[in-house]
A = this chain, B = another copy of it.
Amino acid sequence: MTDPVKHTEALGRVLELVVVLSDDMSRSLAAQGLTDARAHLLWELHERGPSTQRVLAEALRVSPRNITGLVDALVATGFVTREPHPTDRRATLVTFTEHGATIAAGLERDQHEFARILFEGMPDDRVTALVEGLDEVLARLRAHGVSLDARPDESEAAR
């Protein structure tokens, strides 16, 4: 039971944070000439190193076809290049240009900067409480069957 009203209030806070945060991050990315999707791709590339488009498609959870377009755009703006895969002639390795690598490193700095803005000076126990609270919420979501790759199978039967 606990308090349903408080629960709805908490959900409201989470949703508000979602809106404000994603809005601000998008704006910050746009200032660097990046869209959300392209920045996401750059980020994955930054963490994985040169990758095939197939791998990127799975990382971003989008169709391989879509990756083609994103890579096209990033190639056009000089952030990445397509290199032949050394052993598989079907595949291409998406690789940073120098410029792209610089930008990607900047994304990481931006993330730290963001964390600093949000949490700097906040008491440690408060941050810990927040992380634990969010972890529990995430755990509940997963327990409820939100696996983040739930295919639209015949899973949903309720209602």
Contacts and interface: CB of A to CB of B under 8 A. Distances in A.
Interface in A5-32: 6-11, 13-24, 27, 31
Contact of A112 (B1, B8, B124): B8
A1 to B, nearest CB: 8
A117 interface: yes
Interface residues of A, number: 60
Contacts of A31: 156, 159
A21 B14 contact: yes
15 contacts: A4-B116, A10-B115, A10-B130, A13-B130, A14-B17, A14-B118, A18-B21, A20-B142, A21-B141, A31-B159, A117-B141, A118-B141, A119-B140, A126-B132, A126-B133
